[in-house]
Chain A
Amino acid sequence: DAGITQSPRHKVTETGTPVTLRCHQTENHRYMYWYRQDPGHGLRLIHYSYGVKDTDKGEVSDGYSVSRSKTEDFLLTLESATSSQTSVYFCAIRESGGEETQYFGPGTRLLVL
């Protein structure tokens, strides 16, 4: 257990509304990631963070923004949700110091109607 929680775990929203997902970690890891999981695509990286206020884009970043004001929290925001953003969202942390292994949170299931 890498001490990762995600909230909410399930959400239903309507097209055009803003949505924020939260990832919280308790072990002070520097790197945090947001992925989305869709059938036939595995997981794809949306954004990642390499420190407080330091973020970068992944391969499917359009329509998403992120913020990291504290080491323990990494927020993913859908500014104006669309049906194509219906997905399961996973947060991950990366252990460093030689291991370089990513551990995942339990996921957030988002449905955009």
Chain B
Amino acid sequence: GNSVTQMEGPVTLSEEAFLTINCTYTATGYPSLFWYVQYPGEGLQLLLKATKADDKGSNKGFEATYRKETTSFHLEKGSVQVSDSAVYFCALLLYNQGGKLIFGQGTELSVKP
């Protein structure tokens, strides 16, 4: 079936550290891939996306590359800030099933000053 697996959290980093949050997926066809971010007490915000293999999505210093050969979409940032503390969700979009999103379980990131 279709699924998304994220690395387990919580992840705790010091400010200015390098961030990687792993995401792998299983899907039939060619899904689009997304990262959403949820700050405490808020809804989900789209962080970045990629719609085909080898596309790189980027936003606010975050990047992720759609790797078809490894079925991965890992999130990276070169230097995290305290304000990046949030829960990050990887998701895939199934076009042939009403465009629904399949989410990973979320990874909580805590950045300490």
Docked-complex contact B101 and A45, CB < 8 angstroms: yes
> Does B49 lie at the interface of the complex (its beta carbon under 8 Å from any beta carbon of A)?
yes
CA distance A42 to B106 in the complex (A): 6
A40-B105, A43-B89, A100-B95 known; A33 vs B100 contact (CB < 8 Å): yes
What's the tally of chain B residues with a CB closer than 8 Å to chain A? 23
What's the tally of chain A residues with a CB closer than 8 Å to chain B? 24
Say which one of A13-21, A71-79, A104-112 lies at the interface with B.
A104-112
A67-92 vs B: 1/0 string, CB under 8 Å? 00000000000000000000000101
Docked-complex contact B42 and A58, CB < 8 angstroms: no
- B: which residues have CB within 8 A of A? 4, 32, 34, 36, 42-46, 49, 51, 89, 91, 93, 95, 98-101, 103-106
Q: Known contacts A56-B98, A102-B46; can you find 11 more A-B pairs with CB under 8 A?
A: A33-B101, A48-B100, A50-B98, A90-B43, A100-B93, A100-B99, A102-B99, A104-B36, A104-B43, A105-B43, A107-B43
Q: Which 7 A-B pairs have the closest CB atoms?
A: A42-B103, A104-B44, A43-B103, A106-B43, A104-B43, A42-B105, A107-B43
